[in-house]
Amino acid sequence: MKLSLSLARPAVISGLALLVSLNVVLAQPKPAEEYTPSVGQAGKDVVWVPTPQALVDKMMEMAKVTPNDFVIDLGSGDGRTVITAAKLGAKAQGIEYNPDMVELSKRNAAKEGLADKTVFMKADLFESDFSQATVITMFLLPDINLRLRPKILDLKPGTRIVSNTFTMGDWEPDEVSTVIEGCSSYCKASFWMVPAKVAGTWKLPQGELALEQTYQMLKGTLKNGNSSVAISDGKMTGDQISFTANGTKFTGKVNGNTIEGTWRATRG
């Protein structure tokens, strides 16, 4: 049977249109697959393991994060700690070396409606300035913590530090907490408060106070004339100093080379 031209033309045109449409679809670039990290993947200094959300919440609680805080997460991974801090109203920033993780964090923050309340930086921890933070969170290996420790101890007294699992060597934490519910691994958080540096000799009405300092712990002697007594219970809590001498408890606030409180002292 022979088709007339008038009958064949619509079929040919439809076939050509379908072919053109198919070519256009095939020619379009495929959408890029969204980056998905793998637990245990290698990073610059550590492998990536996410902090359980239950422990993130506990870390925020231990640091007493409020809208007045500036929280910086060192090695911020997928951004969950930064996002949690932002949900509490804090200014929140993450420092992360892996650029793919940085972009993932930004997407995660955007999904939570927090893109304008969070900042994620691609940077090396050892070259970064986090001196403006009031709270620092981390989930790093012990040797990394030790390398960062001198920089942390130089932060403003009272800066709060919370670490998932790993400690700061012989700098004993002020508080340790373990989460059981909702957490099966890496469930312990340690908390420190950066102490003011008070080692040295101080003049006060009661005599001369000589202090030795090991992180937040203090020991020393209070001299008055020819008598000298050892202090007890000496401790720094940020910029707050306390100790007992001759049965009297002394408390005060350290401001550079001056202490003001139940007594006044100057260093020198």
- Among 208, 209, 219, 213, residue whose Cα is nearest residue 198: 213
43 in any annotated domain:
no
Kindly state whether residues 133 and 217 are assigned to the same domain.
no
pLDDT at residue number 27: 54
Model confidence at 254, in pLDDT bands (50, 70, 90)?
Answer: very high
Alpha carbon distance 74, 127 (integer Å): 12
Q: Which domain holds residue 214?
A: 200-267
Alpha carbon distance 187, 138 (integer Å): 13
80 in any annotated domain:
yes
Kindly state whether residues 156 and 79 are assigned to the same domain.
yes
pTM recorded for the entire structure: 0.84
40 in any annotated domain:
no
Q: Which residue has the higher pLDDT, 28 or 181?
A: 181
Whether pLDDT at 12 is above 90: no
Least confident of 22-26, 60-64, 106-110: 22-26
Kindly state whether residues 75 and 188 are assigned to the same domain.
yes
Q: Are 257 and 264 in contact (CB under 8 A)?
A: no
Buried/exposed 48-85: b ≥16 CB within 10 Å, e otherwise: bebbbeebbbbbbebbebeeebbbbbbbbbbbbbbbbb
Residue whose tokens read 């994060």: 65
pLDDT at residue number 205: 86
To the nearest whole percent, how much of the chain has pLDDT over 90? Answer: 75
The tokens for 181 are 């519910």
Average pLDDT of span 102-124: 97
If you average pLDDT over every residue of the chain, what do you get? Answer: 88
At 199, which amino acid appears? A
Alpha carbon distance 224, 204 (integer Å): 10
pLDDT at residue number 43: 58
Whether pLDDT at 268 is above 90: no
Model confidence at 263, in pLDDT bands (50, 70, 90)?
Answer: confident
CA angle 221, 149, 143 (to 5 degrees): 125
Alpha carbon distance 241, 98 (integer Å): 41
Of 193, 222, 244, the one marking the end of a domain is 193
Kindly state whether residues 181 and 155 are assigned to the same domain.
yes
Beta strands at 91-96 and 160-164: parallel, antiparallel or unpaired: unpaired
Kindly state whether residues 94 and 142 are assigned to the same domain.
yes
Model confidence at 21, in pLDDT bands (50, 70, 90)?
Answer: low
Of 147, 175, 193, the one marking the end of a domain is 193
Average pLDDT of span 57-80: 97
Kindly state whether residues 63 and 122 are assigned to the same domain.
yes
10 in any annotated domain:
no
Whether pLDDT at 13 is above 50: no
Whether pLDDT at 228 is above 50: yes
pLDDT at residue number 10: 52
- pLDDT per position as a tens digit, 199-212: 999 998 888 999 99
Q: Are 100 and 108 in contact (CB under 8 A)?
A: no
pLDDT at residue number 165: 95
Of 154, 171, 193, the one marking the end of a domain is 193
Kindly state whether residues 210 and 187 are assigned to the same domain.
no
Model confidence at 2, in pLDDT bands (50, 70, 90)?
Answer: very low
The tokens for 86 are 């932002």
Q: How many domains does the chain have?
A: 2
